[in-house]
Amino acid sequence: MRLATWNINSIRTRVARAVDFAVREDIDVLALQEIKCKPEQFPYAPFEDAGYHVEAHGFNQWNGVAIASRLPITDVRTSFAGQPGFAKGHEGPDAPIEARALGVMVDGVRVWSLYVPNGRSLGDPHYHYKLHWLEALRMATAEELSANPDLPLALVGDFNIIPFDKDNGDPAIVPGFSTHVSQPERDAFFALESAGVTDVVRPLIPEGYTYWDYQRLKFPRNEGIRIDFVLGSRTFADAVTGATIHRNERKGEQPSDHVPVVVDLDLGASAVDDDLPMIFA
């Protein structure tokens, strides 16, 4: 199985790019974030013409997640257990749940397409919502893997966190003053390991960014950040045979500000080959 995650930053604007990439790179399962549309607005036809079935979850022109697959999709979930909600000026446990998570089963693999809240600024209610959201994700993942320890499970998508200093090439993002690099956010990211998942791309590709802001020549200057990840359970990680970060997708007409991250899986493999390919496409 070849699995990809991509914050597409409006699927209706970039459907041709998304489908072309999926077909050209022989992607079996494509997890998308920031589709920015309701399910009834999603451009299904180009994907279906290319042999993909799509599950989409969105409420309006913000957020939204989707999964396109050439393999059958089952057990569709539009939120994880305990997922908190958010609305400006709304406090309490009954805040509306945003379209930030979509879970499916594909060929025995649980795939979650996730768009983690941005946080906006340190001290903002959205920042506290982000930390609460990540803790709920950790608890839900731990519960699912506790019930099925051998489940191949992947949390994929835009985590809006820069885990290590070497993942930050943007001089405008400063520890102590900016979201994405604050210690509570990093702690929340690393806490996901206690739930039973680990970054399966970093061991193969230690360096490289996945996002460049559109402004101030960030891409030509390579002032990017690494915020898009594939976190896999033990069984999933053991099946990974390769990974790629497709930097060139940031080029061309109307690119997303993110690029795809791809992993290859051999779900029949009992062990990982010591000589794994490390590729930055």
Query: What is the per-residue pLDDT for 271?
Result: 38
Across the range 111-139, mean pLDDT stands at 97
Query: What is the per-residue pLDDT for 89?
Result: 73
Q: Quote the tokens at residue 9.
A: 């930053």
Q: Which of 221, 211, 213 is nearest to 249 (CA)?
A: 211
Query: What is the per-residue pLDDT for 92?
Result: 67
- Asked if residue 68 lies in contact with residue 51, where contact means CB atoms within 8 angstroms, the answer is no
CA distance 246 to 8: 13
Across the range 78-107, mean pLDDT stands at 91
pLDDT at 256 over 60: yes
CA distance 59 to 10: 13
- Asked if residue 158 lies in contact with residue 228, where contact means CB atoms within 8 angstroms, the answer is yes
Query: What is the per-residue pLDDT for 268?
Result: 86
Query: What is the per-residue pLDDT for 90?
Result: 75
- Stronger pLDDT, 20 or 276, i.e. the higher one: 20
pLDDT grade, residue 11 (50/70/90)?
Answer: very high
Query: pTM value?
Result: 0.94
Class of 2-280 per CATH?
alpha beta
CA distance 240 to 238: 6
Residues in the chain: 281
Query: What is the per-residue pLDDT for 281?
Result: 60
pLDDT grade, residue 59 (50/70/90)?
Answer: very high
pLDDT grade, residue 273 (50/70/90)?
Answer: very low
User: What residues have CB less than 8 Å from 61, skipping those under 6 apart?
Assistant: 36, 37
Query: What is the per-residue pLDDT for 270?
Result: 39
Helix, strand, coil content of the chain in percent (nearest 5): 25, 25, 50
Query: What is the per-residue pLDDT for 140?
Result: 98
Taking only the tens place, the pLDDT of each residue in 184-217 is 999 999 999 999 999 999 999 999 999 999 999 9
Domain positions in the chain are 2-280
Q: Quote the tokens at residue 140.
A: 């839900």
CA distance 40 to 134: 29
pLDDT at 130 over 60: yes
Across the range 54-77, mean pLDDT stands at 97
Secondary structure element (H or E) that encloses residue 247, with its range: none
CA distance 224 to 232: 24
Taking only the tens place, the pLDDT of each residue in 140-193 is 999 999 999 999 999 999 999 999 999 999 999 999 999 999 999 999 999 999
